[in-house]
Amino acid sequence: MTYSLIPVPIHLVLIVLYMIARNRNDLKKTAIIQPSITFLAIVIAGLSYLSPYVNPAYTTWILVGLVLCFIGDIFNIDMTNDKILFAAMVIFFIAYVEYAVAFTRFGGFHTQDWLIGALMLVVYILLIRLYWKGLGNFRIPVMIFVLVISFMVTRAISTLFSSQFSALSAWLVAFGGPLLFMGDVEYGLHRFHKPLIFHLGPLYYAGGQLLVALSCAYLLFR
C-alpha cells in the first residue's frame, strides 16, 4: 500500500479552501490553511519512507525543501507587505535551490538540458521585461529569484531523461516544478504588472508541492 496517498484527499480539499480564502483576501483563514497545506505535503513526503519504491536520501532532500517552504508560508500571508515579501523570497530562494540540487543530484545532467535551459532563458527574459516597470526596489531580488526558480524548473523537467527516476516519479516532478513556477509567475503579474481579479496561484503552488511530495514514494517504481 502507498501510504503517501492517504492524506491526498484532505490536501485537495485544503487547496480548494486555500483558493477561496486567497481570492477573498481572507488573511485569517489563509494564515491557517496555507501552512497546513505545506505541512500535509511534508507528511505525504514523510510517509514515502514506508514505500517499497523509496530512495530515503531523495526523500530527505525533498523534505528539507518542504520544511523551508513551510517556514516561508508562515511568513508569506500578507503578500502586500514588502518586508514580509522579501523575507519570504529569501526562504523560498533557498528552498528552490535545494529542490534544484536534489533533482540534479539524483537525476544528473542530460543533453536535452541545453534545449530546456534555452527555452527557460527566453521565458525568464520575457517575464523580467513584463515585470520591469513595476519592480521598483525589487528589481535585483526578483531577477535573482526568477532566475533560480527557472533553473529549478529545468532540473525538474530534466528528470524525465534520467534512468534514476521512474517514469511516474519523473512526471510528478516534471509537472510539479513548473506548477510552482506558474504560481510565482501569477503573483508577479498581479504584484508587478497588472492586478488580477481571480487567482489560480494557490492551485499551482499547492498542487506543485503535492506532486513533488508524491514523487518521493515512487522514485524506484518500475
Residue length, the chain? Answer: 222
Helix (H, G, I), strand (E, B) or coil at 151: helix
- pTM score: 0.94
Whether 68 contacts 35, CB under 8 Å: no
Number of Cβ within a 10 Å radius of residue 110: 14
Percentage of residues in the chain having pLDDT higher than 70: 100
Grid coordinates belonging to 13: 480539499
Q: Which residue has the cell 514588502?
A: 82
Q: How many helices (H) and strands (E) does the chain have?
A: 8, 0
pLDDT digits (tens, 9 = 90+) for 138-172: 999 999 999 999 999 999 999 999 999 999 999 99
Grid coordinates belonging to 148: 533560480
Percentage of residues in the chain having pLDDT higher than 90: 86
pLDDT digits (tens, 9 = 90+) for 73-92: 988 888 788 888 899 999 99
Q: Which long-range contacts (CB under 8 A, 24 or more apart) does 74-77 make?
A: 74/35, 76/34, 77/27, 77/30, 77/31, 77/34
